[in-house]
Structure 1
Amino acid sequence: MPASPELTSATELARRSNRNFPGESGAYREARTALLAEEIELRRHIERVAEQRRRLPPGGVVPEDYVFEGAHGPARLSALFGRHDTLVTYNWMFGPQRERPCPMCTSLLGAFDGEMPDILQRVAFAVIARSPVEKMVAFAKERGWRHLPLYSSQGSDFNRLYAFENPDANEDVPAFNVFHREGGVIRHFWGDEMNMETADPGQDPRGAPDLMPIWNILDHTPAGRAKDWYPSLDYPAS
């Protein structure tokens, strides 16, 4: 593998910034420049992690061609790839025991719906839940979602093996998974593994980078993401 080009230090790059905002003090600019250096380092670390992820050895072969129930009828896992060789799946916490789905999942999927026309240019995507697909489609219509491919797992083993749900506990577990197809073989490429066991004190067991746009926006604000606030399905009129 060719050696990576030597990069200019993040501190030096930060000092090259020529942006100054109205009324800022010298102390603000000094602190902001130091923060900018850290932001540059974070960007570089994200790139290094993404490259390390892409270099993963081949994952395990998917044990069966699972059958899901979509809005237009049954479809096997292999069919969800469409024209792509990569399939991203999200397990939505919307099991048959729920009248309404998980608000956090719903917030995430609402953002994904707007991005889906662009995402589907590069990879296939499927939102999977244990509720009947008719229930999922009805909720999507209520929210105004137009682009999310929705599928019911129909109680198959998919949720147990790839979302680590306990079939006897009637539980929902959110999960991201990426599958890759080469020839006629489908392998698991990557799955999120951050949970309560990997969480730092006082933090949610979120992944990194955080895929929820709302948290990324709030992380840029003075109050941050607030430990006692989470998205809701509905908000009272203000």
Structure 2
Amino acid sequence: MTASTSLKPARELAEINDARFPNESDEYRRARTALLAEEIELRRHIERVAEMRRALPPGGAITKDYRFIGEEGPVSFLDLFRDKQTLVAYSYMFGPQRKRPCPMCTSLLSSWDGEALDVEQRAALVVIARSPVERLVAFKHERGWKSLRIYSDLTGDYTRDYVSTDDADVPAFNVFTRRDGTVRHFWSGEMGMETADPGQDPRGAPDLMPLWTILDCTPEGRGKDWYPKLEYDSTI
């Protein structure tokens, strides 16, 4: 969709929707049609934002020789790309000071593990944390992840430049590109506590977690009295 694309009004599209369900009231259908119009507008806004993101000017060049330890040994930053031109890097809250990793990060990455091979058709996808790689791999196996590539930033050089200048154990989502022989930073999630709206947990948009996408479609919503767990009763 481009700026010159002529779109029908969202309300007009919503009005021609012929979905109906058993025993629904006229009141429900009117409210649902109004909601559908807003959902169409949301879809369009998401696409506008994605277009703006894709149109960003070139980001800063990567000039440092960042080094990591992967499951098969030491690698360079360039190695993380493999044969792709784009690298997606998630910084996992599992630093050496933690006994166990962040449950929220773990929930996100568990969903990504099932999508990793699909993502890798278009871009390289890696997970980076500050703990020794043996610790990261042990938890990867405990969680049953099969497709995520895990790397340790033992020196912290990458983390201090692209996650936290004071090497705090915080999450980050960065995208890098390799174009015309130059590796550059392309985009990073920049929404945090200071950009959060009142009464909401800090989060980006679109939300990276399928968990929230699902719960946002329920009457209970996300809720505020629970948190993802690292272990669950297998009988549930």
Instruction: Say yes or no: TM over 0.5.
Output: yes
Give the match for residue 47 of structure 1: 47
Give the match for residue 142 of structure 1: 142
Give the match for residue 232 of structure 2: 235
Question: Distance between the aligned counterparts of 1:166 and 1:67, measured in 2?
Answer: 19
Give the match for residue 7 of structure 2: 7
Match of 1:50, SS state, is helix
Matched to 2:137, the amino acid is: V
CA RMSD, 1 decimal: 1.2
Q: What displacement does 1:206 show?
A: 0.3
Name the CA shift for 1:3/1:208 in 2 (closer, same or farther; >3 Å). Answer: closer
Q: Number of residue pairs matched?
A: 234
The answer on 1:226 being equivalent to 2:228 is: no
What is the TM-score of this pair, normalised by structure 1?
0.95
Q: 1:192 aligns with which of 189, 207, 211?
A: 189
Matched to 1:233, the amino acid is: L
What whole-Å deviation, never above 9, does each CA across 1:169-222 have from its counterpart, x for those lacking one? xx3110000000113211000000001000001101100000100000000000
Q: Residues 86-125 of structure 1 correspond to what in structure 2 (within 5 A)? A: 86-125=86-125
Give the match for residue 215 of structure 1: 212
What whole-Å deviation, never above 9, does each CA across 1:21-52 have from its counterpart, x for those lacking one? 11100000000000000000000000000000
Question: Distance between the aligned counterparts of 2:180 and 2:45, measured in 1?
Answer: 33
Matched to 1:60, the amino acid is: G
Q: What displacement does 1:165 show?
A: 4.6
Name the CA shift for 1:103/1:3 in 2 (closer, same or farther; >3 Å). Answer: closer
Match of 2:127, SS state, is strand
Matched to 1:175, the amino acid is: A
What is the TM-score of this pair, normalised by structure 2?
0.96
> Is the contact made by 1:66 and 1:156 (CA closer than 8 Å) also made in structure 2?
no
Match of 2:121, SS state, is coil
> Is the contact made by 1:165 and 1:172 (CA closer than 8 Å) also made in structure 2?
no
Question: Distance between the aligned counterparts of 1:25 and 1:115, measured in 2?
Answer: 39
Q: Residues 75-94 of structure 1 correspond to what in structure 2 (within 5 A)? A: 75-94=75-94
Give the match for residue 160 of structure 1: 160
Give the match for residue 131 of structure 2: 131
What whole-Å deviation, never above 9, does each CA across 1:73-131 have from its counterpart, x for those lacking one? 01101011111100000000000111210000000000000001100010001100000
Moved segments of 4+, more than 2 Å:
235-238
Match of 2:74, SS state, is strand
5+ residue gaps, structure 1: none
Give the match for residue 26 of structure 2: 26
Question: Distance between the aligned counterparts of 2:190 and 2:183, measured in 1?
Answer: 20
Match of 1:208, SS state, is coil
Question: Distance between the aligned counterparts of 1:192 and 1:65, measured in 2?
Answer: 23
Question: Distance between the aligned counterparts of 1:41 and 1:86, measured in 2?
Answer: 29
Question: Distance between the aligned counterparts of 1:191 and 1:154, measured in 2?
Answer: 22
5+ residue gaps, structure 2: none
